[in-house]
Each structure stands twice: as structure tokens, then as C-alpha cells.
């Protein structure tokens, strides 16, 4: 109800207005911490994908999806066009090689992770978020989980397109192709999980160190590139003749998920890796991988536990 009053407090047609509004108490179900965590997880995914935002915010994720999926479509199309010819056995890449478009994923993480973490700190909304029931650990799990979900989906979807497409165009029949490549059912998800888990935890951890998105994005790219440069200076060029691997390859964090991918698909370190020929190189890579992920998560939990208090 609205009542108009005059300058002196009475009369009709004055310049003042009194608003009589009430608020109905909430009588629905209270979800608690799990519901708050899930709500933040969903909101983070929507923000990362640019949903309910301007078209400019949707450019990065869907360009990445196109970069990831188009090669699979081209590969399937070429396979279809070369059926019943001598070129039918030609493959542009294998399933193993198709996992880990590192440069594209790194750019996406550098653009998305700061957008998930920096605005909350810069706009000083963390105390509001951490008013009960949400806690610092819930915040970290929701943000890392959202980043992991997107990276996993964008890495796994092209594999599905490639597999289904190859089934449909193969000369031996779809069922035969599926049976001959049954090991991909567990190899692809496991390798993609390792890749997405690594980039999501490290990217979110680095982005949490600053409230400026540009600084955070540059820091993520710089962090990975510096490890690659240091590793290269220690180990040298793995493509040169007579190259012998070195444990210095463990410093290269860009290549680390690819080493685990090779362990999943090949059962050993690839010959072109900086760790090729190193005794126990695969085991060392797994240890360093787990150490880096655990350190990133521990840093996040500690940092947001301090803010939570």
C-alpha cells in the first residue's frame, strides 16, 4: 500500500510517499551445507560457461569446445570418404593423442579460473558467502568441482564423438569396432579425469592468490610455461638423436598429465617424453602428480579456512 503525503506531512498530491510493505517468512525446506554447496557449484558452472550473461562471456568456452570437437568430426569425415580405398587405414591421430589438447585447455583455464575466483575476493563478498551454512571447504570443493566438470566434459565429449563416428563409418561393422576397442571404455575416462583434475586444482589455486583477473590469468600461464622452460633447460630436447631421459622432466607440469595418459593407454612412458628411459619414470610422475594436486588443494583449504573464520 502506498500513501502520498504533502511537504508538511498531510494532503494529497505532495512529493513524499510512504510504502507499507511486508515480508512473508520462508516456510520451505532448509537444505543446509550440502544445498548451499550445490547451489554455488551450479552458479560457478553457469558463470564459467557464460550462461545468463552476454554473448562475449560465452565465446571462450564454446570456442574451446569447437577446437576440441572439430578434429574428431574431420577425422570421422575423412574415414567415411576413404572407405573402400587404400587410404582407409590412415588416421590423423589416435585416441591417446587426442586427449590433452594442452595449449587450448591451458588458455581456457587461464580465462575461466580467474573469473570463478577473483570477483568474489575483489568485490568483498566472501564474508557474505561464508555466513552460515557455507564453509571455506565447501567453497573450495564447489569451485574446483565446477572447473573439473567443465574440463572433463570438454575433453570427454570429443572422444565420444570420435568413437561413435568411427563405429558408424568402419568397414568391419559397428559391433566389431566396439568389441575391438572395448578397453577405451575405461582408458578414456581415466585419462581425462587425470587431465581435468590436474588443471582444475592448480588453476583454481593460482587464481585464488589475487583479486585481479588479468593478473591471475597471466600467473596461470606463466606458472606452467616457467616449469616447461626449466624442465627443458635441465633435460634438453627429447627429439635429438641419442637423447636420454632425465628426472628433470618431472618439473614440466604441462607435460605431467600427458605422462599419466601414456601410462593409462600404453602402460609405460612414451618414447618421446622427457622421462623416457628413466627407471621408474612413470611411478615418479604419478607421485609428483599426486603431490602437486594435494598441495594445491591444501593451499586452497588453508586459504579459505582463514577467510571463513
User: What is residue 235's predicted lDDT score, i.e. its pLDDT?
Assistant: 77
List, run by run, the mean pLDDT of 10-residue segments along the chain (309 residues).
49 61 70 83 88 73 78 80 66 77 77 88 81 83 94 88 86 84 91 93 93 90 90 74 74 89 89 81 92 95 77
Task: Give the start-end residues of each E strand in the chain.
Answer: 2-5, 16-19
3-state secondary structure of 16: strand
User: What is residue 241's predicted lDDT score, i.e. its pLDDT?
Assistant: 62
pTM, to two decimals: 0.83
Instruction: Output the CA torsion sign for 225, 57, 204, 188.
Output: negative
Residue 18 forms beta bridges with which residues? 3
* Rounded Cα distance, 143 and 303, in Å: 14
Strand 16-19 with 2-5, pairing: antiparallel
* Rounded Cα distance, 122 and 259, in Å: 37
Element (H, E) at 156: helix 136-169
Which of the 8 DSSP states describes residue 121? H
Burial class (CB in 10 A: 0-12, 13-18, 19+), 73: middle
Amino acid at each position: 500500500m502506498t500513501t502520498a503525503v504533502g511537504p508538511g506531512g498531510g494532503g494529497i498530491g505532495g512529493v513524499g510517499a510512504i510504502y507499507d510493505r511486508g515480508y512473508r517468512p520462508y516456510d520451505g525446506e532448509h537444505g543446509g551445507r550440502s544445498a548451499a554447496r550445490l547451489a554455488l557449484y551450479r552458479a560457478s558452472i553457469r558463470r564459467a560457461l557464460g550462461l545468463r550473461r552476454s554473448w562475449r562471456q560465452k565465446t571462450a568456452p564454446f570456442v574451446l569446445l569447437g577446437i576440441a570437437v572439430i578434429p574428431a568430426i574431420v577425422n570421422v569425415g575423412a574415414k567415411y570418404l576413404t572407405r573402400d580405398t587404400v587410404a582407409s587405414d590412415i588416421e590423423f591421430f589416435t585416441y591417446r593423442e587426442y586427449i590433452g589438447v594442452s595449449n587450448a585447455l591451458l588458455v581456457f583455464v587461464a580465462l575461466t579460473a580467474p573469473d570463478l575466483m577473483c570477483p568474489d575476493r575483489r568485490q568483498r563478498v566472501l564474508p557474505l558467502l561464508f555466513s552460515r551454512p557455507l564453509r571455506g571447504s565447501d567453497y573450495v570443493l564447489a569451485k574446483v568441482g565446477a572447473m573439473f566438470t567443465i574440463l572433463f566434459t570438454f575433453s570427454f565429449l570429443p572422444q565420444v564423438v570420435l568413437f561413435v563416428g568411427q563405429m558408424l563409418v568402419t568397414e568391419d561393422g559397428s559391433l566389431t569396432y566396439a568389441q575391438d576397442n572395448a578397453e577405451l571404455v575405461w582408458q578414456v575416462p581415466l585419462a581425462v579425469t587425470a587431465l581435468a583434475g590436474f588443471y582444475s586444482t592448480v588453476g583454481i589455486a593460482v587464481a585464488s592468490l589475487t583479486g585481479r583477473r588479468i593478473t591471475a590469468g597471466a600467473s596461470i600461464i606463466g606458472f606452467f610455461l616457467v616449469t616447461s622452460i626449466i624442465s627443458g633447460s635441465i633435460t634438453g630436447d627429447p627429439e635429438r638423436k641419442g637423447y636420454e631421459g632425465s628426472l628433470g622432466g618431472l618439473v614440466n607440469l604441462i607435460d605431467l598429465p600427458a605422462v599419466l595418459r601414456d601410462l593409462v593407454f600404453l602402460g609405460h612412458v612414451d618414447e618421446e617424453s622427457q622421462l623416457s628411459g628413466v627407471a621408474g619414470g612413470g611411478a615418479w610422475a604419478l607421485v609428483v602428480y599426486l603431490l602437486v594436486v594435494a598441495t594445491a588443494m591444501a593451499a586452497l583449504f588453508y586459504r579459505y579456512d582463514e577467510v571463513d573464520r
